[in-house]
Structure 1
Amino acid sequence: MRSTLVRHVLAAMLSISPLGDAKAATVSDPAGVWLTQSGDAKIKVSRCGSALCGRVVWLKEPLDKKTGKPQLDDHNSNPALRSRKIIGISLFIDMQAAASNKWSGKIYNADDGKTYASTVTLLPSGHLNVQGCMGTLCAGEDWTR
């Protein structure tokens, strides 16, 4: 598998034309629409000042199975926010550059309505690794463009 990856990377590098610098820049830029590892949501990642923003733009199941209405942020710990739609919610909170291709801040999890310490890392494979931590316990997943 590793040799296949190396061949793909080399082929991509050789195919970049002198005008392809913009393409090359996007490979190291996390901006874009990312599919979560489970495939149930798409998150639009963009720069917002010095931070990185991530907003839900698509859900595999946008309607609540019980009500038939758009899914709401009904697990939010703040009762005033429980009626907002999941599509449009900002997930990244104060996600600041921590290293090359790595950002650190907080992430909101609409599944349980909680916010966790988080890191987002753009991997050499082109995936976006998103981790959330509760104390010393961390879990993460890789998103694809």
Structure 2
Amino acid sequence: MNQFKKSLLILFVCLFSAVAALADNPDAVVGVWKNGEGTGMIQIYKSGDKYFGRLVWLKVPNNPDGTPRTDVNNPDEAARKKPLKGLVNMRSFTYAGDNKWEAGNIYDPKNGSDYSCEMTLVDPNTLEVRGFIGVSLFGRTDVWKRQVKK
């Protein structure tokens, strides 16, 4: 077999492997993901038949005085003293098929707001997270990168 055919065969095997990795796998989203700004990492995990996410790393974990950052923008005054690290900020996603998770919510600690959310796995290491109010048309998509495999 000449070099060209070998290269073509290797390319085919790699493409097939990538497609197989995106096959219908509800747990493919499980793992640690870095948000698009690079300011935080979220661990997505499964509980029952739902998917959740919690903040496990912050680029700036502490306040200037050295104390851990807390959820200061939370509309619930009692929750403002809770640390951001460990905060469950993604809740109750269900797998809809086609590498898409829907009907979840995402909380943004930067502004204290909660949004409807859906996630789409573009490839094994790229996740599009779309937060919105009302309908998905009115929202924003952030692209997250996988940091740690499940």
The TM-score, its normalising length taken from structure 1, stands at 0.78
Cα deviations by residue, 1:53-107 (Å, 9 ceiling, x for unpaired)? 1110000110123x32111001001111110000000111211123322112111
Contact conserved, 2:22 with 2:124, CA < 8 A, in 1?
no
- For 1:117, the equivalent position in structure 2 comes to 116
**Residue type at the aligned position of 1:115:** D
User: How many residues end up aligned between the 2 structures?
Assistant: 131
- For residues 107 and 99 of structure 1, what CA distance do their matches in structure 2 show? 20
Contact conserved, 1:91 with 1:108, CA < 8 A, in 2?
yes
Aligned pairs for 1:35-114 within 5 A:
35-65=34-64, 67-104=65-102, 105-114=104-113
- For 1:139, the equivalent position in structure 2 comes to 140
**Runs of 4+ residues over 6 Å off in structure 1:** none
Offset at residue 15 of structure 1 (A): 7.1
Unpaired segments ≥5 residues, structure 1: 1-7
- For residues 134 and 77 of structure 1, what CA distance do their matches in structure 2 show? 17
Contact conserved, 1:107 with 1:118, CA < 8 A, in 2?
yes
Unpaired segments ≥5 residues, structure 2: 1-9
Contact conserved, 1:76 with 1:82, CA < 8 A, in 2?
yes
Rg bigger for which structure? 2
Offset at residue 123 of structure 1 (A): 1.1
User: Which of 12, 26, 35 does residue 14 from structure 2 map onto?
Assistant: 12
Q: 1:125 to 1:14 in 2, by over 3 A?
A: closer
**Residue type at the aligned position of 1:83:** K
- For residues 15 and 30 of structure 1, what CA distance do their matches in structure 2 show? 17
**Residue type at the aligned position of 1:114:** S
Which structure shows the bigger proportion of residues in strand conformation?
A: 2
Contact conserved, 2:29 with 2:44, CA < 8 A, in 1?
yes
Contact conserved, 1:27 with 1:126, CA < 8 A, in 2?
no
**Residue type at the aligned position of 2:145:** T
**Residue type at the aligned position of 1:99:** G
State the identity as a percent: 30
Contact conserved, 2:22 with 2:99, CA < 8 A, in 1?
no
What is the DSSP-based 3-state SS (H/G/I as helix, E as strand, rest coil) of the residue aligned with 2:60?
coil
Offset at residue 134 of structure 1 (A): 2.0
